[in-house]
Structure 1
Amino acid sequence: MNWLHLELLIGGVNKYSTMVSRLWLIVVFIFRILVFVVAVQQVWSDEHLEFICDTTQIGCTHVCYDQFFPISHVRLWALQMIFVTCPSLLVVAHAKYREIKNRRYSAHKGTPLYADPGKKRGALWYTYILSLVFKAGFDVGFLYILHLVYDFNMPRVVKCSEEPCPNTVNCYNSRPTEKKIFTWFMVVTSAMCIFLCICEILYLITKKVLKGLCKQKERYRGVGPRVSPT
């Protein structure tokens, strides 16, 4: 992993983020990505080699492993983190586009088009909200897949009768307790990220509605009836 690129990415996202979104970044990069790189990959490194079935029939172990573990937890979580972190780049790209557009406009007209290109107003506000929806949606989708395939569980022993197994055989998973603990850790941190995204969406919408109501009140005060002096 290139930590310099990661630092630049975090810095770019933080520049256009709220405090809630910065907290989301901390949870993602410290409690998910670092744990994934440092610990999770090591725990699952022997998942296929140490999956042993009590039979000498060639091919039985491979077939049984594929039946009960159709997709590796490590690869599923790697995909999840890629999909979850990418929407933040939409906001960065949109803000950079506005900055470039602002410079070009200023060069021709002499005045800036945006007072602050990175401020979440207009289309950038909707891009930001959309990025939050995508982040929460991807986390929900991957949690559903994990529940559908594994039910958030890591069995110690599984029974398999698929061909070419001669009969029903017992297959033993390696480090089941350790893997179950890390599975629930990843599930809980994903749920935390979903909660933070929902909180930020509600915060931004509430803030926008209240701001609109304040402007509406000011407008009504400006056009209200005037009392003639006596």
Structure 2
Amino acid sequence: THVTFTCNTQQPGCNNVCYDTFAPVLHLRFWVFQIVLVSTPSIFYIVFILHKIAKDEKLNGQRAQMVAQRYPQSRCGRIGKDGMEVLKVDMPTYCHYREDWDAKEREGVEQSSLEEDGGKVGEDPTQQSNRVLLIYILHVLLRSVMEITFLVGQFFLFGFTVPQLYRCETYPCPTRTDCFVSRATEKTIFLNFMFSIGFSCFLLNIAELHYLGWVYIFRILCSACFTCCSHERDTIRLYSNHNALLLQLRHSLRSQLAL
């Protein structure tokens, strides 16, 4: 801190100016600012995914309610004392044949409701899956850029070591002044620790992008740039069948949207 940074001079203001030159930004404040900014893309991505899941659950509830209103599962009779079903005269007779649906009929009802809701959404599940993947890739790229930016900034501001003796030649110091830094070894250890943590996070981001596939990333970014020009673009051919992570993301999103 500024209190433990002492210079061998009695010139007013020299101590403050030398400390400002030695440490333009306090280490702790710089690291807090770094953590907040680097975490921001991930926070926004999580909020986006939670909002999308809530929206999909709401649409699924509306579809289930629509199916229940179209085809009510009501019994046509009541059970008598002898255990036999007694038919009512005022109930339609065809409902006994509609009580148990087969798999094809249920699939047809769900598909019709999905097509009707597709007009409200305006997109098919493949396009929505590509949008989620695009936002995920952009958030990883933005996080990587922030990590490398803070690493470069930390290097130019502090370097890799904190010296025990700092020689200051800044006005209003009359001559070259020697200033002594408190706990320089401890600050050097934490400085290198934060360097290693930031560089490790950057390598993890690069590994994550490499696992997704660089060819697929470039293709989906290019397709996002030309989406407004070609609305009927075949997005399925951009799909990589050899990527387990993309398969899992797409299948999970399609299952959520097709319910």
SS of alignment partner, residue 155 of structure 1: coil
User: What amino acid does structure 2 have at the position aligned with 1:212?
Assistant: Y
Q: What count of residue pairs does the alignment treat as equivalent?
A: 165
**Residue number among 48, 55, 65 corresponding to 2:19 in the alignment:** 65
* Matched position secondary structure for 2:239: helix
Distance 2:60 2:194 in 1: 47
Residue among 26, 36, 39 paired with 1:82: 36
- Give the unaligned 5+ runs of structure 2: 65-109, 218-236, 243-259
What is the CA distance between 1:83 and its match in structure 2? 0.9
The aligned runs of 1:1-230 (5 Å cut-off) are 47-110=1-64, 121-205=129-213, 212-214=239-241
Q: Aligned to 1:174, what secondary structure does the other structure show?
A: coil
Q: Indicate the structure (1 or 2) with the bigger Cα radius of gyration.
A: 2
- Report the TM-score, using the length of structure 2 for normalisation: 0.57
CA distance in structure 2 between the partners assigned to 1:173 and 1:77 by the alignment: 20
Q: Distance in 2 between matches of 1:152 and 1:121?
A: 43
- Does the C-alpha gap of structure 1 residues 169 and 214 become closer, same or farther in structure 2, counting only changes over 3 Å? closer
Could you give the per-residue CA deviations for residues 89-133 of structure 1, whole angstroms, max 9, x where no partner exists?
12212212212321332344445789xx9xx93211111111111
Identity among equivalent pairs (%): 30
The normalised TM-score by structure 1 is 0.64
1:213, CA displacement in angstroms?
Answer: 4.8
Note closer, same or farther for the CA distance 1:128–1:213 as it changes in structure 2 (3 Å cut).
closer
RMSD: 2.7
Instruction: Pick closer, same or farther for the CA change 1:197–1:52 going to 2, 3 Å.
Output: same
Deviations 1:168-190 (A, max 9, x none): 11001111111101100110011
Point out where structure 1 has 5 or more consecutive residues left out of the alignment.
Answer: 1-46, 216-230
| Secondary structure, counterpart of 2:213 in structure 1 | helix
